[in-house]
């Protein structure tokens, strides 16, 4: 699989750690990012996983960036692409040529978008969590593959709640990926 990220790469690290067990059944063949000089790329390099960067600003428009990203991903011939903290919306070129899943820090369909944890707190929910879903053309609208609940505690801040969600998100991704990796690449989740 190819993992796409935009930041620290803690989800990637969880997968890389699990993949050290030959019985895990998942291999990260490359890590792609939309920014240079981020911790996630350093995590991949430390494990000798090839990396690439495809920055939006290096292209005349979003469609050109998406086509270039699809080509970069395709060079590694992955069975699956995992958007793990990748903070860009993937377009039709990537989605037409690759099976993509995404992690999201809320129990979709509630609280889609980039501010899910803040939105959950603002709405006063007592339970939120994380979702692994197939990526489609919408924003966090693809079919739900797995979810894990996280209790919202009295006194939670956006930061404290997000940290607990990240723990659940890493566990959810690591436990769900082997089953997804066994699905034939042409079968959509």
Catalytic residue annotation: 104
Provide the 10 A C-beta neighbour count for residue 176. 17
Residue 3 forms beta bridges with which residues?
Answer: 31, 82
Taking the C-alpha atoms of residue 84 and residue 2, their distance in angstroms, rounded to an integer, is 10
Taking the C-alpha atoms of residue 102 and residue 134, their distance in angstroms, rounded to an integer, is 6
Taking the C-alpha atoms of residue 113 and residue 14, their distance in angstroms, rounded to an integer, is 23
């Amino acid at each position: 699989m190819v993992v796409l990220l935009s930041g620290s790469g803690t989800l990637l690290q969880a997968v890389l750690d699990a993949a050290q067990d030959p019985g895990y059944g998942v291999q990260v063949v490359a890590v792609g990012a939309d920014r240079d000089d981020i911790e996630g790329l350093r995590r991949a390099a430390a494990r000798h996983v090839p990396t690439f960067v495809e920055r939006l600003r290096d292209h005349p428009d979003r469609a050109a960036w998406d086509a270039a990203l699809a080509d970069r991903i395709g060079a590694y011939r992955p069975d699956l692409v995992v958007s793990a903290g990748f903070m860009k919306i993937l377009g039709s070129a990537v989605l037409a040529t690759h099976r993509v899943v995404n992690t999201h820090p809320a129990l979709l369909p509630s609280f889609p978008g980039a501010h899910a944890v803040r939105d959950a707190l603002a709405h006063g929910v007592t339970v939120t969590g994380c979702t692994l879903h197939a990526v489609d053309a919408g924003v966090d609208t693809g079919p739900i593959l797995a979810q894990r609940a996280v209790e919202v505690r009295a006194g939670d801040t956006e930061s404290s709640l997000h940290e607990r969600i990240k723990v659940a998100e890493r566990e959810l991704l690591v436990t769900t990926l082997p089953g997804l990796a066994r699905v034939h690449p042409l079968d959509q989740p």
